[in-house]
Amino acid sequence: MAKKEKKNTDVSEENKDISLESSASEEEVSDSSEKIQNNNSEPENEEKSSVSQENAATEKTDESSAADETQGETVKKVSFRERIDSVQNAAAKFIAENNLMARFIGLFMMFASIVCIGNYNSDPRTEPFTLDSDKNFTDRWKDYSGTVSFAKMFLFIGAIFIGVSLLRKFIPKLKQISIDGYILVAGVMSFGISSLWRVNNELFSFSIILVSVILFSCFIKSDEFRELKKVPNKVYIIIMCLCAVLVGVYVAWTTICKHRIFNTAVFDLGIFTQMYYSIINDFTQVTTCERGYPLSHFAVHFSPIYYVLAPLYMIHPSAETLLAAQAVLAVSGFIPLYLICRKYKFSDTVSFLFSLVYIFSTSVMSPCYYEFHENAFLPPLLMWLFYAIEKEKKILMYIMVVMVLMVKEDAALYIMCISLYLVFSGKNRKHGTIIFLATVAVFVNVLTLMSRYGEGAMTNRTFGNLMINYDGGFGEVIKTVLSNPVYFFAQCFTQEKFIFLIIMLLPLMFMPFITNKPSRMLLVVPFIVMNLASGYPYAFKYDFQYVFGTATCLIYAALVNVADLDRKAVRRVVPLMAAASVLMFTANDSRQLYYPDTYKSYREQNDRKAAYIESIPEDASVLATSFIIPHAANRKELYILDEGSSVNPDTCDFVVFEDGNDEWKINKRAMLEEEGYEVFVDVEGLIVIYVSPDYVFD
């Protein structure tokens, strides 16, 4: 304490001395200024300047010395523990600002997809693994693993990982963007698409889709990608329409290539090609190849909707016109679906993603690959009907009801269920009741007319598994369901149908069944009745026409159920649905590229084959094998030539064989030559055409 007081006393005395010196210097300056009053101003300014510099230097020295003393008193030593804590805090902050696990998984899957794409179409030994029973390739996964460079993997992941971190550190605006989320989405989707590309294995597809959905659910938050809200809606609409066009063109082109390589048959493309020939010539639906004699298609199915495409077929009378039109019809349902999304006030992003769910729906697009059917009208017509219901457009609603009933006799089931949905949901009880009663009346009358003048409804073919008496009609089915519900459920959930169920519902995240409103279960009744309950083997296959309508109802049911969720849940569920739909479409429809590839490889042969068939005059009657008929169907008389056909050749003008060495073909050709038929075209390995000796060329 004494030392401190002494030190303060010394400082005071120093300050006194400085004050005295300062006073003395001021007196000296005053005396000198008086002495040089008669001198010029320059010396005076120089002297003042030097004095100012000396005073400034003195003050600076005093301040620095005082600062040094203060710093010496305040600086503290940092302990090792404190340094560790600061590093941990910095690491925690870095982790909080970055979704590191998402970034790592995304980059890893991105690299894996690059390797997969790089090896694609190379030596089969470098494919990831085998999904078939070919013993020659059971170990090829080992060869594939040998193509993976771990050095490149670590370099790829490390370089991008560090690069993203540096960008986020030095560009503050990037911190507001979920870069890691985008990397995860890009990596998972690229990995899923590359691994599912042209792979024909349902269980493998399910596993990839489930892994993708789980990764998205775990590492992506519902409030991420906020910047997508700033994207103008016009951009979303343009991308959505572009996706629809690309999918439509893809399906149209691949189905046309399937036809051009002679992979389409009389059932079910040849019969409809000949039917349209009749429509544009005499406005009937008469065919000869469907039953082997002249018969109106109305006797088989009530489908006046076919006449809608007649003007288009008149412009270009070809089976390819029907295939292209079918693809356009199927994909066009996204337009009313998008409008329904806007009615429910979904955001631009959610509306866009839900539209992708429809556009890439396997259950809507895959049925196009089984030739051509009137059921393709159901997706757009049903979706426009749902739009009319949501917007309360009464006139449009009744127009769509009539149009749907024109598709097929069993389309009445859709209208019955939808009208009951209107009644029990309270959307419109009055019009729902009217539509239901009118539909029942139409359905009963159509079945009566078909039974009297046609072949009747094919109830025993579709629901024979639920009928004791095959002649009992649909009432027999209801009787079985009520008397033996255990058997009914056993028929609905076989192993094959369970796989079909997953294919139909996994892209929709099972949302059609997730609701607390019983009335909405009416929307899934067509799916249960027409697909799950049926014993007809093609009714529960996703790539046959029987799912066109039921899939549309499921998508709408998913939409209205999603609309009941809170916004946070909607932002989580809909992106998962869109991702699953794209991956399922890749798994089931990318392998259809086999048809363009085959056509490209054998284009000359197939084009020559088609040209030979086109050289047959249009007025001539033709007897042809099943896969020839769709190419020769623009004529009045056309019959199927197969092993079970008549022993003696019919009196057809031309008989066409696909080249082959089958015994029945050899025998049939010998019989034709005995009857006097002459060879019209004979190209070994391609086609053989005989012409009747009685046919006179014009």
Q: Average pLDDT of 46-60?
A: 48
Residue 420 makes CB contacts below 8 A (sequence gap 6+) with 432, 436, 522
Res. 20 pLDDT band, cuts 50 70 90: very low
- Report the C-alpha gap between 655 and 429 in whole angstroms: 59
Which pLDDT does position 130 carry in this prediction? 56
More confident: 232 or 36:
232
User: DSSP letters along 366-389, please?
Assistant: GGGGSS--GGGGHHHHHHHHHHHH
Four-point Cα dihedral 667, 672, 678, 679, nearest 10 = -30
The C-alpha atoms of residue 299 and residue 410 are separated, in whole angstroms, by 14
Nearest-CA neighbor of 258 among 372, 361, 362?
372
How many Å apart are CA 583 and CA 520, to the nearest integer? 27
Backbone phi, psi, residue 681, to 5°: -145, 135
Closest CA to 134 of 54, 53, 200, 197: 200
422/429 Cα distance (integer angstroms): 6
Q: What is the pLDDT of residue 260?
A: 96
pLDDT score, position 94:
61
Query: Structure pTM?
Result: 0.84
Q: Is the pLDDT of residue 123 over 50?
A: yes
Mean pLDDT of the chain: 85
Contact 492, 534 (CB under 8 A): no
Show Cβ contacts of residue 647 under 8 Å, excluding neighbours closer than 6 positions: 671
More confident residue, 92 or 15: 92
Listing DSSP states for 29-74 in one string gives HHHHHHHTTTS-HHHHHHHHHHHHHHHHHHHHHHHHHHHHHHHHHH
How far is 365 from 308, CA to CA, in rounded Å? 21
Contact partners, residue 205, CB within 8 Å, separation at least 6:
196, 199, 583, 584, 587, 588
Say if strands 295-296 and 286-287 run parallel, antiparallel, or are unpaired.
antiparallel
Average pLDDT (94-99) is 65
* pLDDT tens digit sequence for 495-529: 899 999 999 999 999 999 999 999 999 999 999 99
- CB neighbourhood size of 390 (10 A): 18
Q: In a 3-state reduction of DSSP, which class is residue 655? A: strand
Burial class (CB in 10 A: 0-12, 13-18, 19+), 75: exposed
State the Cα–Cα distance between residues 190 and 109, nearest whole angstrom. Answer: 8
Question: In the prediction, which pLDDT does 681 show?
Answer: 92
Mean pLDDT of 199-211: 90
Contacts of 208 (CB under 8 A, 6+ apart): 192, 195, 196, 583, 587
